[in-house]
Amino acid sequence: MKPGTRIGYGWDSHEFKAGIPLKIGGVTLTHDSGLGGHSDGDVLLHAITDALLGAIAGPDIGSLFPPSDPQWKNADSAVFLGEALRRVKAAGYELVNLDSTLILSAPKIGPHADAIRKRVAGLCGVSPDCVGIKAKTPEGMGTENAAIANAVVLLQREG
């Protein structure tokens, strides 16, 4: 008998690089730099993807979509999230709600939180009131040139 509910946790970080678009939660934000590295660098979607995969004890995002594989260069991270959601459904579960915290010095997330919440909710197939988007500045952490995202998800068994 499968558990009725499962939780998952994900964490990610990316370094800011000048001259590339900044995407957070599937929303492009106006800023002088974006997040480099794997795919489009969407740190929030990566953390949510890993939380979903973790909840079903699946492989992590780096195993499914290796940064060394050129096909994922500049990829839309919504593709990774979609694969995680497909695996959650295949395992017999559905997403109940998710919560997240971003840690970055700039830009301010508050003015964009509702847009990000709606976009993430749309990608995940849940209501916006089931998506928590919180942001903090990295006080005393020395990570001013990085964006960090933490995410937790709750799944329930379908049917």
Chain residues that interact with Zn ion, rule: CB under 5 A: 12, 46
Q: Which residue is nearest to Zn ion (CB)?
A: 46
In the complex, minimum distance from the CB of residue 129 to Zn ion, in angstroms, rounded to a whole number: 26
Q: Which two tokens stand for residue 66?
A: 């290796």
Burial of 25 (0-12, 13-18, 19+ CB in 10 A): buried
The residue assigned the tokens 């979607």 is: 45
Checking phi first, is residue 111 left (phi over 0); if not, alpha (psi -120 to 50) or beta? alpha
In the complex, minimum distance from the CB of residue 43 to Zn ion, in angstroms, rounded to a whole number: 6
Measured from the CB atom, is 55 or 148 closer to Zn ion?
148
Measured from the CB atom, is 12 or 124 closer to Zn ion?
12
Single-letter amino acid code for the residue at 40:
D
In the complex, minimum distance from the CB of residue 146 to Zn ion, in angstroms, rounded to a whole number: 11
CA 73 – CA 95 distance, rounded (Å) = 28
Residues of 121-131 as b/e, b for ≥16 C-beta within 10 angstroms? bebbebeeebb
The residue assigned the tokens 């010095």 is: 105
Measured from the CB atom, is 14 or 93 closer to Zn ion?
14
In the complex, minimum distance from the CB of residue 64 to Zn ion, in angstroms, rounded to a whole number: 12
Measured from the CB atom, is 12 or 23 closer to Zn ion?
12
CA 143 – CA 83 distance, rounded (Å) = 30
Measured from the CB atom, is 121 or 148 closer to Zn ion?
148
In the complex, minimum distance from the CB of residue 66 to Zn ion, in angstroms, rounded to a whole number: 12
